[in-house]
């Protein structure tokens, strides 16, 4: 197994598999967050279920954290090793499909998204961990708020325009990152023959997913 990760193909395949997992997570995360716009009550119910379900908390959540860390660490390793080997970035070696400046500099979009993830953890994940695992409060309620607290906390985070701008900028970079990464991930696992079809799906995914998150942030900012 260690030899697999040491090989160029092994790194690319493992990078692609982590990308697939994270792209599925983005779909699921967007679906739940969209409920905060159309049905705050249902959003609270689903959020409470996800936040207290043992399978999600003690199995899927650690896997997700590992996938995020692994994806970015492996991305940086690929970038550095390929530049060291031939003076070109990993993305640059993928031919005409990766000929844009942005696709040759995925590391910069990756760093921007990593900074956003840190902000997102500070806004949502760390307070949630503190509430449940340090304070021991798994009720999902808070004094002064009717029903569950999740929708109230979400809306509160988007009051500050500076934070909203940071989220919007981060999601734009996410879209640019996905525009290249989606197709590249499939190529890494041997689906290059489907490139034309995958490019169309990748373009749609890289636009609709970030746009959905941007809409949610702007909606709550202007309707709090």
Q: Is residue 60 part of a domain?
A: yes
pLDDT at 92 (0 to 100)? 44
Average pLDDT of adjacent 10-residue blocks, the chain of 224 residues: 64 88 96 97 97 96 94 85 62 47 69 90 94 95 90 95 95 90 80 74 93 97 92
Distance CA 74, CA 79 (A): 9
Tell me, what DSSP letter sits at residue 58?
I
Distance CA 48, CA 149 (A): 9
From residue 214, give the alpha-carbon distance in Å to each of 4, 116, 152, 206, 223: 38, 13, 18, 13, 14
Distance CA 213, CA 34 (A): 8
Q: Is residue 35 part of a domain?
A: yes
pLDDT at 13 (0 to 100)? 87
From residue 102, give the alpha-carbon distance in Å to each of 44, 173, 195, 211: 38, 10, 19, 19
Tokens matching residue 107: 């590391």
pLDDT at 186 (0 to 100)? 83
Q: Is residue 40 part of a domain?
A: yes
Task: Convert the pLDDT of each residue in 18-29 to its tens digit.
Answer: 999 999 999 999
**Residue 176 in contact with residue 90, Cβ under 8 Å?**
no
Q: Is residue 142 part of a domain?
A: yes
Instruction: Provide the domain limits for residue 137.
Output: 8-222
Q: Is residue 87 part of a domain?
A: yes
**Residue 82 in contact with residue 33, Cβ under 8 Å?**
no
Q: Is residue 3 part of a domain?
A: no
Q: Is residue 145 part of a domain?
A: yes
**Residue 216 in contact with residue 33, Cβ under 8 Å?**
yes
Helices 150-157, 40-52: crossing angle, 10 deg rounding: 110
Task: Convert the pLDDT of each residue in 43-90 to its tens digit.
Answer: 999 999 999 999 999 999 999 999 999 998 888 888 787 777 765 444
Q: Is residue 170 part of a domain?
A: yes
- The residue assigned the tokens 């690319």 is 12
pLDDT at 95 (0 to 100)? 46
CA-closest candidate to residue 209, choices 22, 15, 17, 18: 22
Distance CA 152, CA 14 (A): 38
Total tally of structural domains belonging to the chain: 1
pLDDT at 199 (0 to 100)? 81
Distance CA 201, CA 109 (A): 21
Alpha helix stretches (DSSP H) within 39-143? 40-52, 54-55, 61-86, 106-120, 126-129
CATH number assigned to the domain comprising residue 181: 1.20.1300
> HSE on the CB side for 79, CA within 13 Å?
15
100: left (phi over 0), alpha (psi -120 to 50) or beta: beta
């Amino acid at each position: 197994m260690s030899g697999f990760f040491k090989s160029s193909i092994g790194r690319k395949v493992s990078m692609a598999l982590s990308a697939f997992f994270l792209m599925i997570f983005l779909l699921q995360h967007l679906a739940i967050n969209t409920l905060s716009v159309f049905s705050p009550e249902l959003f609270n119910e689903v959020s409470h279920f996800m936040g207290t379900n043992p399978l999600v908390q003690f199995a899927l959540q650690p896997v997700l954290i590992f996938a995020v860390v692994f994806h970015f660490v492996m991305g940086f390793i690929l970038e550095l090793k390929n530049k060291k080997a031939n003076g070109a970035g990993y993305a640059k070696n993928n031919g005409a499909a990766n000929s844009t400046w942005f696709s040759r500099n995925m590391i910069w979009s990756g760093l921007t998204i990593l900074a956003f993830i840190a902000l997102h953890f500070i806004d949502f994940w760390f307070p949630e961990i503190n509430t449940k695992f340090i304070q021991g409060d798994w009720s999902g309620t808070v004094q002064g708020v009717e029903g569950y607290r999740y929708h109230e906390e979400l809306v509160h985070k988007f009051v500050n325009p500076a934070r909203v701008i940071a989220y919007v900028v981060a999601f734009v970079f996410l879209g640019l990152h996905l525009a290249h990464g989606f197709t590249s991930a499939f190529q890494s696992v041997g689906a290059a023959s489907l490139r034309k079809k995958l490019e169309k799906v990748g373009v749609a995914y890289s636009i609709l997913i970030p746009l959905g998150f941007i809409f949610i942030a702007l909606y709550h900012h202007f309707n709090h």
